[in-house]
A and B are shown apart, each in its own frame.
Chain A
Amino acid sequence: MSSRVVIDPVSRIEGHLRLEIEVDEPSHKVTNAVSAGTMWRGIELIVKNRDPREVWAFTQRICGVCTTIHALASVRNIEDALDIEIPKNANYIRNIMLGTLYAHDHLVHFYHLHALDWVSPLEAIKADPVATAALQNQILQTYGGIISLYTDFLGGNAYPRKFPKATPGYFKTFQDKIKNLVQSGQLGIFAANWWDHPDYKMLPPEVHLIAISHYLNMLDVQRELVIPHVVFGGKNPHPHYIVGGMNCSISMNDMNAPINMERLAVVEDAVYTQAEAANLFYLIDLLAIGQIYVQKGWTYGGGLSKDRVLGYGDYPDEPYKSIKNGDYFEKILYHSNGVVENFAQGVDKAKYYPITNEDLTNPDIIQEWVTHSWYQYPNNNEGLHPWNGITDPYYTGPKEGTKTHWKYLNENGKYSWIKSPRWRNLPAEVGPLARYMIVYTAVKQGHIKPSWMDEMVVNQIDFVSKLLNLPPHVWMPTTVGRTAARALECQLGANASNYFLKKLYDNIKAGDTSVANMEKWEPSTWPSQAKGVGISEAPRGALGHWCIIKDGKIENYQAVVPTTWNGSPRDEKGQQAAFERSMQDTIVLIAKEPLEILRSIHSFDPCLACSTHVYNTQKEEVVSFKIGGACYE
Chain B
Amino acid sequence: MIDGKETFWEALKRHGVSRREFLKFSAVITGLMGLPPAFIPKVVEAMETKPRVPVIWVHGLECTCCSESFIRSATPLASDVLLTMISLEYDDTLSAAAGEALEKHKEDIMKKYHGEYILAVEGNPPLGDDGMYCVVGGKPFLEGLKKAAEGAKAVIAWGSCASWGCVQAAKPNPTTAVPIHKVITDKPIVKIPGCPPIPEVMTGTIMYTVLFGKLPPLDSQGRPKMFYGNRIHDTCYRRAFFNEGMYVEQFDDEGAKKGWCLYKMGCRGPTTYNSCGNLRWYNGLSYPIQSGHGCIGCSADGFWDNGNFYSREQNIPFIGTESNADKVGAVAVGAAAVGAIAHGVISKIRSGKKED
Q: A interface vs B, CB < 8 Å? A: 6-16, 18, 38-43, 45-46, 50-51, 53-54, 57-58, 61-65, 67, 108, 112-113, 116, 173, 176-177, 180-181, 184, 186, 188-194, 216, 219-220, 222-223, 226-227, 230-240, 242, 244-251, 253-254, 256-258, 266, 393, 395, 398, 401, 403-407, 417, 513-516, 518, 521, 598, 609, 615-618
23 CB-based A-B contacts, threshold 8 Å: A12-B98, A16-B134, A39-B61, A42-B168, A43-B167, A53-B308, A112-B71, A113-B93, A177-B15, A184-B6, A186-B6, A188-B83, A189-B94, A192-B104, A194-B101, A216-B83, A231-B291, A236-B72, A236-B281, A249-B257, A258-B259, A405-B139, A609-B63
Shortest Cβ distance from residue B12 to the other chain A in the assembled complex, whole angstroms: 11
Q: A193-B97, A236-B68 are in contact. List 11 more A-B contacts (CB 8 A).
A: A9-B137, A11-B92, A46-B171, A64-B66, A181-B83, A230-B281, A230-B291, A238-B298, A242-B251, A393-B129, A514-B252
Question: Which residue, B97, B168, B196, B289, has most C-beta atoms of chain A within 10 A?
Answer: B97
Question: Looking at the complex, which one of B94, B136, B289 makes contact with A234 (CB distance below 8 Å)?
Answer: B289
Q: How many residues of B contact A (CB 8 A)?
A: 102
> Which A residues lie within 8 Å of B59 (CB)?
15-16
Question: Looking at the complex, which one of A39, A108, A216, A240 makes contact with B134 (CB distance below 8 Å)?
Answer: A39
> Which A residues lie within 8 Å of B138 (CB)?
6, 8, 18, 398, 401, 405-407
- Interface check B82, CB cutoff 8 A: yes
Number of A-B contacts (CB under 8 A): 315
Of the stretches B41-49, B172-180, B221-229, B314-322, the one at the interface is B172-180
Give the distance in Å from the alpha carbon of A46 to the alpha carbon of B322 in the complex. 33
Q: B interface vs A, CB < 8 Å? A: 6, 11, 14-16, 52, 54, 59, 61-69, 71-74, 77-79, 82-83, 86-89, 91-105, 126, 128-141, 143, 166-168, 170-175, 177, 195-196, 199, 237-238, 250-252, 256-260, 276, 281-282, 285-293, 296, 298, 304, 308-310
B68 touches A404 (CB 8 A): no
A256 touches B282 (CB 8 A): no
> Which B residues lie within 8 Å of A18 (CB)?
135, 138
A58 touches B167 (CB 8 A): yes
Question: Looking at the complex, which one of A57, A173, A258 makes contact with B290 (CB distance below 8 Å)?
Answer: A258
A222 touches B71 (CB 8 A): yes
A16 touches B289 (CB 8 A): no
Give the distance in Å from the alpha carbon of A609 to the alpha carbon of B167 in the complex. 12
Question: Looking at the complex, which one of A65, A248, A251, A403 makes contact with B64 (CB distance below 8 Å)?
Answer: A65
Shortest Cβ distance from residue B187 to the other chain A in the assembled complex, whole angstroms: 23
Shortest Cβ distance from residue B59 to the other chain A in the assembled complex, whole angstroms: 7
A231 touches B256 (CB 8 A): no
> Which B residues lie within 8 Å of A514 (CB)?
252
Shortest Cβ distance from residue B296 to the other chain A in the assembled complex, whole angstroms: 6
> Which B residues lie within 8 Å of A249 (CB)?
251-252, 256-257, 292
Question: Looking at the complex, which one of B134, B140, B195, B291 makes contact with A248 (CB distance below 8 Å)?
Answer: B291
A64 touches B63 (CB 8 A): yes
Shortest Cβ distance from residue B274 to the other chain A in the assembled complex, whole angstroms: 11
Residue of A nearest to B106 (CB): A192
A57 touches B296 (CB 8 A): yes
